[in-house]
Structure 1
Amino acid sequence: MSFIDKINPIHLDILKEIGNIGAGHAATALSAILNRKIDMNVPNVRVVSFDEMMELAGGAEHVVASVFLRIEGDATGSMIFILSLPVAEYFIRQMIGDETFSIDSPPHSELELSCLQELGNILSGSYLSSLSDFTRLNLYPSVPSLNIDMVGATISYGLLELSQVSDSAIVIDTVLAQDERFAETINGHFFLLPDPDSFDTIFAALGVTING
């Protein structure tokens, strides 16, 4: 049995609570950047297989915008934040104040791409800050890297090490309140890919053990 198979509903509830606190911090930061109220929450945290990760993001050949970063410090791992292209485009338009921006019309300026990178940085940084506060562990994100590519290529990049010890990861669903100018629910997915030893460290710090 791999370490991730030992995660139970109590662990997921803890991660969901931490995620919602992080989402609150992220919403505050985004509200300031976009100059409008943003509500954000984490409705669900679950363990999924790598194949299910692909399907959640639209299938292996579906093109998405993603931000990948390493989690560094006392408990290491990787995190991938994935947005559909329409949602990514929406955020970039709001952040740069240009309603004509289109992801389908490269080349993109450094400002346009840095906006999406900053969005991923805010969301992941808020989550890790919340996790760090709860655990009192020193956790911080690396400089995020932005990618616009097929889901299969995007996710595979983050699975190279984890796939040696597990075939599952943790998905943190993220939902932002619907904006009147965006017809669909604004949502995304965090895929948390902990290094093998990190979960013991994190949950021990929370006072919850992962039994063998």
Structure 2
Amino acid sequence: MELFNHNPDFKMDVLREVGNIGAGNAATALSRMLDKPVDMSVPTVSFVPFESIADRVGGSEEVVVAVFLRVDGDAPGNMFFLMSREQARLLLRELAGFELEDENEYSELELSALCEIGNILAGSYLSSLADLTGLAMSPTVPQVAVDMAGAILSYGLLQFGTMGDDALLISTTFLKDEREAEGYFFFIPDPESFARMFVSLGVPLE
């Protein structure tokens, strides 16, 4: 794919803005949901090949917590929010105030909370992307799963069909006092969607 050969710095500046605006919106929405201040660090934004997504969370056999959904509209694609089990527990304890009864299992309420946090993140990043591009983009109802990263991505392929070769990665870090909980947010546009997004931003493509 030749999308990033022409003025890649400008493209990344645009996408960093998506991450910054989305993180600000997400922090506000999470603060409202939890009725307490939520801080998020400035996210790092990069492109990664689809096949290396699992490597970011420890490999395809690493068990992770995942929230995933389909994006419909002018630039369709798939979204995944992945966290290690340790980071998910930290997020539940420090941010959402849960007293975890089992360190290795999640109750329905805990999974629901993680799903809602992932849903807020997805909605916030997607809204900032839609606002900057002027494209209509809407999320479907999210699903949450605890499984090996490779199995979750394979299930996503089965659920949503063929995915693009590249993923937009937004590393997302929640801050609470001295503690940090980090997760990885991936938007995997359908093959034609990247070009549509950049054309709508007035970025010339080769």
Contact 2:69 2:78 in 1 (8 A): yes
For this pair of structures, how many residues does the alignment match?
202
Q: Percent identity?
A: 45
Within 2, Cα distance between the matches of 1:204 and 1:41?
Answer: 29
Task: Note the C-alpha offset of 1:14.
Answer: 0.8
SS in 2 for 1:9: helix
Q: Which residue of 1 aligns with 2:113?
A: 115
Within 2, Cα distance between the matches of 1:128 and 1:112?
Answer: 24
SS in 2 for 1:26: helix
SS in 2 for 1:177: strand
Q: Which residue of 1 aligns with 2:187?
A: 192
1:20 aligns with 2:15: no
Deviations 1:155-187 (A, max 9, x none): 233355126xx3x3221111222434x4xx311
Contact 2:34 2:96 in 1 (8 A): no
Within 2, Cα distance between the matches of 1:41 and 1:190?
Answer: 14
Give the alignment of 1:146-161 within 5 angstroms.
146-159=144-157, 161=162
Q: Which residue of 1 aligns with 2:50?
A: 50
1:135 aligns with 2:133: yes
Deviations 1:50-89 (A, max 9, x none): 3432221111111110011111111100011101112222
Contact 2:79 2:186 in 1 (8 A): yes
Within 2, Cα distance between the matches of 1:40 and 1:81?
Answer: 15
Stretches of structure 2 that go unaligned for 5 or more consecutive residues are: none
Within 2, Cα distance between the matches of 1:62 and 1:179?
Answer: 28
Amino acid at match of 1:100: L
Structure-2 change in CA distance of 1:119 and 1:101 (3 Å): farther
Within 1, Cα distance between the matches of 2:17 and 2:115?
Answer: 25
Amino acid at match of 1:77: G
Task: Note the C-alpha offset of 1:117.
Answer: 0.8
TM-score relative to the length of structure 1 = 0.84
Contact 1:61 1:151 in 2 (8 A): yes
Structure-2 change in CA distance of 1:36 and 1:197 (3 Å): same
Task: Note the C-alpha offset of 1:202.
Answer: 1.1
SS in 1 for 2:65: strand
Deviates more, 1:15-24 or 1:3-12: 3-12
Contact 2:78 2:163 in 1 (8 A): no
Amino acid at match of 1:99: E
Task: Note the C-alpha offset of 1:116.
Answer: 1.0
Task: Note the C-alpha offset of 1:103.
Answer: 5.1
Contact 2:19 2:43 in 1 (8 A): no
Task: Note the C-alpha offset of 1:122.
Answer: 0.2
Instruction: Name the Cα RMSD after superposition.
Output: 2.3
Within 1, Cα distance between the matches of 2:102 and 2:148?
Answer: 18
